Amino acid sequence: MVDILRRLRQSGIQPTAQRLAVARFVLDTTSHPTAEEVWQRVRRGSPTLSRATVYNTLNLLVEKGLLKAQVVREGAVVFDAHVARHHHFVDEETGEIQDVPWDAVKVVGEWSPRGYEVQDYQVVMRGRRRAR
């Protein structure tokens, strides 16, 4: 586990106990949790933690670039500590999300609607657990 405290400080985030607890979990998981899931998890160790603080902290981490919000699942935004470019695979049955390495697939062909510029792109794959 990386030194979370240092990372917060380096990003100009006042490391309160709550922020540290949230960050320690969310910056160190690959599970793409929703805000609710972060709350449920971190609450176990910090029982007074409020939902509002979780949302505040997650939004702050996104704003500071330590976290990325991904809109790939219906109903809720998920948070991804993997900030470098990569693709995603979404299990349609469970909603589970997995990272797909950037080099696993290659997108060939520059393309953007006239008058627009593409700043970012990713491949979103959807599927299910293999029948066996």
The residues that touch its own copies, with contacts defined as CB under 8 A, are: 69, 71-74, 77, 89, 91-92, 98, 100, 104-113, 115-131
DSSP state of 103: G
Q: Does 88 help bind DNA (rule: CB under 7 A)?
A: no
Phi, psi of 70 (to 5 degrees): -115, 135
33 binds DNA (CB under 7 A): no
| Residue 35 near which of its own copies, DNA, none (CB within 5-8 Å, type-dependent) | DNA
Pairing state between β 78-80 and 87-91: unpaired
Residue 52 binds DNA (CB under 7 A): yes
Backbone angles phi, psi at 88, to 5 degrees: -135, 145
Site residues (CB under 7 A) for DNA? 13-14, 16-19, 34-36, 46, 48-53, 55-57, 59, 75-77
